[in-house]
Structure 1
Amino acid sequence: MALEVRTVAGEDLETLSRLLALAFGNDVGRWRDYFDPGKNPRVDPESVYVLEEDGEVRATATVLPLEAYVEGRAVPVGGVAAVAAHPAYRRRGYAGELVREALRRMRAGGVSLSMLWPFAHAFYRSFGYELAGEAIEYRLEPGKLPTSPEQRNVRACCEKDLVRMMGLHEEAAARHRLCVRRGRAYWERLLGREEVEAAVYEQGDELEGYMLYETSPFEPAREPRRTMRVRELVWRTPQALAGLLSLPASLDPEVFGVRMWSPRGEPLHPYLRSSYVEARVSPEQMLRIVDVRGALDLLRPRGSRALALDVRDELFPENEEEHVVGEGEIAGRVTLDVRRLAQLYAGYLPARELARRGLIEPDTERALEVLEEILPVRDPWIFRPDHF
């Protein structure tokens, strides 16, 4: 049978929207909006791919041309999303072929990093992706959160706040490896959603923090009957944090529950009067290093010692060469596959723990020490409104 992978054409969009509604259970109209650049500023029709068999679309995948932070700088990242095959044509390798082709095109276009949220980790591991982040999800009663007089400086967001909120977000995002940069058009789309509310903390003329949240409808048969979901909390000063946390803390505990998410490195529970709250660690994004040399060149290695990396990569043999990272005398050699390199690159797992489990192979203790210097543990994190 004749198989072809190509970019989407205008006449495909209705078919594509129906295919994704079948695959993911959302309505067709939502997917029409997803592929409309006027409504979704992150989508580029040139990076929406379909697999066609005998003239009919069987599967699709999208690469969002994103930017994410590495060493405090925004760099290109391919965000893989909306990967699906028509239910009648699954288990034929169609989605896999689209993912491989998308990765090849990213590499050819000079994109060294790719991220995604998986439906199944095992599926994407076969293409060189690996888990590279976690979040802490909190579910708690409003009364578990601290209140503060600083709440007097909290108010509802208005249009003039947008530029300053963007600045606060960029400050916070640049501190986290792989955090996605958010452009103005996406901000406007986010704040324009009917269900999204925003509050800001303002001290004098300075905007020092903000919160994006949603509140669910009243459901008498559920417990809690309403939920506030704090989607994003960004603060520059302790006063801003105290004031913004007072917002969910002031809700009626007989009606509301609160859900919040935080980076692994910024837990909430140690700072509460009682730490006995529900806190669940959840897997987040997967990372694929598409071009090892290109990705390593984005780093600013610390120290004066270099290291040779021998990388295994079944999909891209071009990555399977000796890569020297760092400056100065080569202190040793580490052998590892591209998936483990992704976890080290993200700062998600410590090199010593991977070595202890036999997942990377340093030739000497000195080589392991240098690897820890070059790729230290960090706090990879992507704000929830930027999940794709």
Structure 2
Amino acid sequence: MKEQGIRRLTDKEVDDSIRLSSFAFQFSLNPEVWEQRRKSLKPDRVWGYFIDGRLAAKAAVHPMRIWLNGRSIPMGGIAGVATWPEFRRQGLVRQLLLHVLGVMRDEGVTVSFLHPFSIPFYRKFGWEVVADAVVLELQPEKCGGFAMEGGMRRIERPLEELGLLHRLRGRYAARFNTMNDRDADWWEERVLANECCCYIYEDASGEPQGYMLFTLKDRLMHIAEWVYLNREAREGMLAFIANHDSMADKVQLKCSANDRLPFLLHDPRFTQTRMPHVMGRIVDVQSFVYAYAFRPGNGPTRLRLRITDEAAPWNDGEFLLSVDADGRGSLTPAAAGSPDAPALACHIRALSAVLLGDQRPASLYEDGLFTGDAAAAELLESRVPATPTNLIDFF
């Protein structure tokens, strides 16, 4: 009988992990890049399924943080999920995903995100689409007609201005759900590691109000990131983009599905491609609700909630959701609650999409993804903040 088991990788197995990723995701690395990957890979974040001492499948869990209703909370980012072909269709990834869900729960991580290779596959394990991305492709002149009241200051060495960039993005990201709360390593290794142009927008008084990271090559202006704290900064940077009409035939940028930018442009008739961007799920629903910032109300709200979650049995059951007037919530087994409270039933996928901000309770009730009492759906609708989602960095 084959010896099988799941454990964290060791330093000696870093090359095995890179080799499996290279095969599964079809990329090759020269010796210099391979060595860089070896130094950056943290084996204690990678869980492997081993068969007779050989790495058969793996999944990494990156400790990250996301913004949710104005608060920064821990998030487990699932990445690098891969299996050697001779071990596929044997349920190894299923066992890895179930295992890391338990590990995240034990470590106090209440939510997990991933970028899926297949949405139906990860839906089987409770993840749901929680943010869409829209790629805009337009001519620079489409951004014309806006005034620049302040000015754009070029940053020659962005790493020397990292503190400023981090503060600007932090203030911007806190307004949304699902955006990651970056640390210094993320900035240095993933954002500013590649050569790009960096500009800060400053208002008339010299106060920084936004920034833009972009590249310009082969008459394509690719905007990797832009952040604005107010209307003036947004319009000033749109004017800045329009001023590149002699250097670029096309501008490409990615924004969230909630971004009103196309509507604000004089002529929004250009290519807009919308695609699911990230999937998320609640890992531990009771702990998640306890830390969640519900919308304040005139008094307490109570409703019964029947949650289905095949992959995380600790979430599967009937609960009493209580939210006080200040928006503090708790979720307790229904046996301890009031039997006369209005009731709803849903899958953990639907609940995750609602509480992470991508969907509304009333809409999913109308669509049949929440079932039960209409009064319960109305109560939940009234207490879930309408904080829009935005894009998390790819990981």
Would you say same fold, with TM above 0.5?
A: yes
Of the three residues 347, 354, 357, the one matched with 2:367 is 357
Does 2:374 align with 1:373? no
CA gap of 1:149–1:341, structure 2 versus 1, over 3 A, is: closer
Is contact 1:151–1:246 with CA below 8 Å preserved after alignment?
no
Tell me what 1:170 maps to: 170
In structure 2, stretches of 5+ residues that fail to align are 326-337
Q: How many residues align?
A: 372
Tell me what 1:25 maps to: 26
Tell me what 1:222 maps to: none
**DSSP 3-state at the match of 1:96:** helix
Does 2:289 align with 1:290? no
CA gap of 1:334–1:31, structure 2 versus 1, over 3 A, is: farther
Shift of 1:31: 6.2
Shift of 1:194: 3.1
Tell me what 1:3 maps to: 4
Shift of 1:309: 1.5
CA gap of 1:152–1:291, structure 2 versus 1, over 3 A, is: closer
CA gap of 1:250–1:87, structure 2 versus 1, over 3 A, is: farther
Shift of 1:185: 2.2
Does 2:347 align with 1:337? yes
Tell me what 1:194 maps to: 194
**DSSP 3-state at the match of 2:13:** helix
Shift of 1:152: 6.7
Is contact 2:201–2:210 with CA below 8 Å preserved after alignment?
yes
CA gap of 1:70–1:145, structure 2 versus 1, over 3 A, is: same
Is contact 1:17–1:28 with CA below 8 Å preserved after alignment?
no
Shift of 1:242: 2.1
**Structure 1 residues 1-388: aligned runs within 5 Å:** 1-28=2-29, 30=33, 33-34=36-37, 36-37=39-40, 44-146=42-144, 148=146, 150=148, 153-157=151-155, 158-159=157-158, 160-203=160-203, 204-216=205-217, 218=218, 226-252=219-245, 255-302=248-295, 303=297, 304=299, 305-321=301-317, 322-327=319-324, 331-363=341-373, 365-383=374-392, 386-388=393-395
Aligned partners of 1:259, 1:332: CA distance in 2, in Å?
48
Aligned partners of 1:256, 1:34: CA distance in 2, in Å?
36
Aligned partners of 1:340, 1:191: CA distance in 2, in Å?
32
Aligned partners of 2:88, 2:320: CA distance in 1, in Å?
38
One-letter code aligned to 2:23: L
Is contact 1:331–1:366 with CA below 8 Å preserved after alignment?
no
**DSSP 3-state at the match of 1:133:** strand
300-309 or 128-137, larger mean C-alpha shift = 300-309
TM-score normalized with structure 2 length: 0.87
In structure 1, stretches of 5+ residues that fail to align are 38-42, 219-225
**DSSP 3-state at the match of 1:132:** strand
Aligned partners of 1:104, 1:32: CA distance in 2, in Å?
32
239-248 or 279-288, larger mean C-alpha shift = 239-248
**DSSP 3-state at the match of 2:238:** helix
Aligned partners of 1:350, 1:191: CA distance in 2, in Å?
32
Tell me what 1:221 maps to: none
Aligned partners of 2:27, 2:243: CA distance in 1, in Å?
34
CA gap of 1:357–1:152, structure 2 versus 1, over 3 A, is: closer
Aligned partners of 2:66, 2:34: CA distance in 1, in Å?
25
Deviations 1:162-200 (A, max 9, x none): 212211111111111121101122212345423333211
Deviations 1:283-333 (A, max 9, x none): 111111110101111222232222221111112221123142313798522
Is contact 1:20–1:31 with CA below 8 Å preserved after alignment?
no
Superposition CA RMSD, Å: 2.2
CA gap of 1:239–1:255, structure 2 versus 1, over 3 A, is: closer
One-letter code aligned to 1:84: A
One-letter code aligned to 2:195: E
**DSSP 3-state at the match of 2:353:** helix
List 4+ stretches of structure 1 deviating above 6 A: none
Shift of 1:278: 1.6
